[in-house]
Chains A and B, each alone.
Chain A
Amino acid sequence: MATMRKLEEVLHSGEGKIRLRGVSRSFVTAQGPLQALEGIDLDVHAGEFICIVGPSGCGKSTLLNLVAGLDRCTAGEIWTDGHRVEGPSSNRLLIFQELGLFPWLTVRENVEFGLRRRGVLRQECVERARRVLRLVHLGGFENSYLHQLSGGMKQRVALARSLVMEPEVLLMDEPFAALDAQTRDLLHQELERLWVETGQTIVFVTHNVREAVRLGDRVVVMTFRPGRIKCQFEITLPRPRTLEDPALTLVARSVLDQLKEEINKAVKTEFRDETTA
């Protein structure tokens, strides 16, 4: 009865861009079942920039895979725009932590890939790819192959490959982890600008609490194993923000306090795993 009512609610409210209800995902591993996510309830509003932080292995990537429709929940439901997520959609793009760029294609061909599958004409693909590549400062590398690029450049290619599709929802899994501070700063600004321009909904996963507070309208802290939502912070600092802002540091500290508890739990668990193994 209870689930029925919940379903009705979801169906009739139009505002939630992404709604997660009781989302759980467990894996069968050699050591037995592993509950990666348990009972996640989360609403992301249209146009919201939401950041998720949590210790390594708490299920952040798993969560994004589920929202992207590349994986299935073992329990619970995910809805976007009032429709149940049944599979991937190029309107809801995930930028993978491992990037997943195609080594057999040049940088430009990688960026064009999604457009071509969508049936966009060749000439338009070329132009759009060129524009986006300039945006991520890779204008001169259109015809390079991936192995000729640095880690940070590859991350920007992955970003470009998704941005070019102009999706309504962008799911980003630690996209700036391998960048130096200056480039990261630059891309924060670019991303923020793009987000304001396009009105995209962004779910952004990161290890870096300051980055989360710098970018997000809201920061969600996750617990460690099973992954649940521990607490959420509304970030009301005015934009544009800078990492150096003392007010930002203050907010980041209170987020970090929450996160630290979970990280300690994670470290303890991992340590125990290792000593018993």
Chain B
Amino acid sequence: MRRLRRQLLFYSLLVAVWWLIADLEIWTPYLFPSPRGVLEALRWGFADKTFLVGLGISMKRIALGYGLSVALGVVLGCLIAASEFLKDTLGGTLLSLQSLPSLCWLPLAVLWFGLSEKAILFVVVMGSLLSVTINTEMGLRHVPKIYLMAGRNLGARGLGLIVHVLLPASLPHLVAGLKQGWAFAWRSLISGEMIFVSLGLGHLLMMGRDLNDVNQVVAVMVLIVAIGYVVDRLIFERFESRLRQKWGLSAAP
């Protein structure tokens, strides 16, 4: 409760200061957005459905791209955890690739797939696949040996051991990986969408620039942040805290 009050106070203050600065017109309104202008842009955007369409398109892309990278990442993580050979070879490669910002995959994507849907998908997958893979692998590798022994002792074998012991035991790591993967996927998507007439949120951002409409630019930015935040809070945070509660883990690791 106290936290909520604090946050409310902070944000109202922030908007008030912003409002004040905008009203003073130190910079021209073409360059400096005002809260009123941004609100207006949001309203117009939703009224003429451009924002809704953009949102829909972006969500479809993220669902596909993120879904793909989760499926691929979990399988890849399992394989790397299962094999010393893969860990020494592929595992090391993936770790080094992690230092590559996902936007760096864009030129390659454009060369391979042209300015197309596939190029964006490729960037999204490359952006989030590594987090999912690495965290899955780490989670599996760090499962305490005693759980495996207990599982085998009680008759779990092969696939049963994986499904009923290994995966649940590594769930905290796995969820951390999914969460991080989501954040990367969302960022990669927006950057990818900025490069051509993709109709997604990233494209709307660039359109704002082309129209010299600083309010639209900021309005779309607000939208992007809001969605990232909502998914993170409403889905991952909730799931994680339920998990922590169940396991009796204290605050975030």
* Chain A residues with a Cβ under 8 A of chain B: 65, 68, 70, 87-90, 93-94, 96, 98-105, 113-114, 116-118, 145-148, 161, 165
Q: Which of B153, B160, B168, B247 contacts A93 (CB 8 A)?
A: B153
Q: Tell me if B16 counts as interface (CB < 8 A to partner A).
A: no
Q: Is the CB of A102 within 8 A of B155?
A: no
Question: Can you show 20 pairs from A to B with CB atoms below 8 A apart?
Answer: A65-B149, A70-B149, A70-B153, A88-B155, A90-B153, A90-B154, A93-B153, A100-B150, A101-B150, A102-B147, A103-B246, A104-B169, A116-B164, A117-B154, A117-B155, A117-B160, A145-B246, A145-B247, A146-B248, A148-B248
Q: Tell me if B211 counts as interface (CB < 8 A to partner A).
A: no
Minimum distance in angstroms from A215 CB to a CB of chain B: 22
Q: Tell me if B152 counts as interface (CB < 8 A to partner A).
A: yes
Chain A residues, CB < 8 A from B171: 104
Q: Is the CB of A94 within 8 A of B153?
A: yes
Minimum distance in angstroms from B29 CB to a CB of chain A: 56
Which partner residue on chain A sits nearest B150 by CB separation? Answer: A100
Minimum distance in angstroms from B106 CB to a CB of chain A: 40
Contact with A along B160-181 (1 / 0, CB 8 A): 1000110011010000000000
Q: Pick the 10 closest A-B CB pairs, nearest first.
A: A147-B248, A100-B150, A114-B154, A90-B155, A100-B146, A117-B155, A104-B168, A103-B247, A88-B152, A117-B156
Which partner residue on chain B sits nearest A101 by CB separation? Answer: B150
Chain A residues, CB < 8 A from B248: 103, 145-148
Chain A residues, CB < 8 A from B247: 103-104, 145, 147
Could you tell me how many residues of chain B have their Cβ less than 8 Å away from some Cβ of chain A? 19
Chain A residues, CB < 8 A from B154: 90, 93, 113-114, 117, 161, 165
Which partner residue on chain B sits nearest A95 by CB separation? Answer: B153
Tell me the complex Cα distance, A70–B168, Å. 21
Minimum distance in angstroms from A76 CB to a CB of chain B: 21
Chain A residues, CB < 8 A from B146: 96, 98-100
Which partner residue on chain A sits nearest B156 by CB separation? Answer: A117
Q: A145-B247, A145-B248 are in contact. Are A96 and B155 (CB under 8 A)?
A: no
Q: A104-B169, A145-B247 are in contact. Are A68 and B153 (CB under 8 A)?
A: yes
Tell me the complex Cα distance, A147–B250, Å. 11
Q: Is the CB of A96 within 8 A of B150?
A: yes
Chain A residues, CB < 8 A from B150: 96, 100-102
Chain B residues, CB < 8 A from A118: 155
Which partner residue on chain B sits nearest A102 by CB separation? Answer: B147
Chain A residues, CB < 8 A from B164: 113, 116-117
Minimum distance in angstroms from A85 CB to a CB of chain B: 13
Chain B residues, CB < 8 A from A117: 154-156, 160, 164
Q: From A65, A87, A104, A148, name the one whose CB has the most chain B CB atoms within 10 angstroms.
A: A104
Q: Is the CB of A100 within 8 A of B155?
A: no
Chain B residues, CB < 8 A from A147: 247-248
Contact with A along B136-154 (1 / 0, CB 8 A): 0000000000110111111
* CB contact list, B183-232 vs A, under 8 A: none
Q: Is the CB of A114 within 8 A of B155?
A: yes
Minimum distance in angstroms from B247 CB to a CB of chain A: 5
Q: Is the CB of A102 within 8 A of B165?
A: yes
Tell me the complex Cα distance, A259–B149, Å. 30
Q: A113-B164, A145-B247, A145-B248 are in contact. Are A100 and B152 (CB under 8 A)?
A: no
Which partner residue on chain B sits nearest A103 by CB separation? Answer: B247
Chain B residues, CB < 8 A from A165: 154
Minimum distance in angstroms from A102 CB to a CB of chain B: 7
Chain B residues, CB < 8 A from A65: 149
Chain B residues, CB < 8 A from A94: 153
Tell me the complex Cα distance, A113–B150, Å. 10
Minimum distance in angstroms from A92 CB to a CB of chain B: 9
Which partner residue on chain A sits nearest B161 by CB separation? Answer: A117
Tell me the complex Cα distance, A179–B32, Å. 69
Tell me the complex Cα distance, A114–B147, Å. 13
Chain B residues, CB < 8 A from A148: 248
Chain B residues, CB < 8 A from A102: 147, 150, 165, 168-169
Known: A65-B149, A117-B164. 5 other contacts (CB 8 A): A87-B152, A90-B154, A96-B146, A98-B146, A145-B246
Q: From B151, B154, B169, B248, name the one whose CB has the most chain A CB atoms within 10 angstroms.
A: B154
Which partner residue on chain B sits nearest A87 by CB separation? Answer: B152
Minimum distance in angstroms from A66 CB to a CB of chain B: 12
Which partner residue on chain B sits nearest A97 by CB separation? Answer: B146
Q: From A89, A113, A118, A145, name the one whose CB has the most chain B CB atoms within 10 angstroms.
A: A113
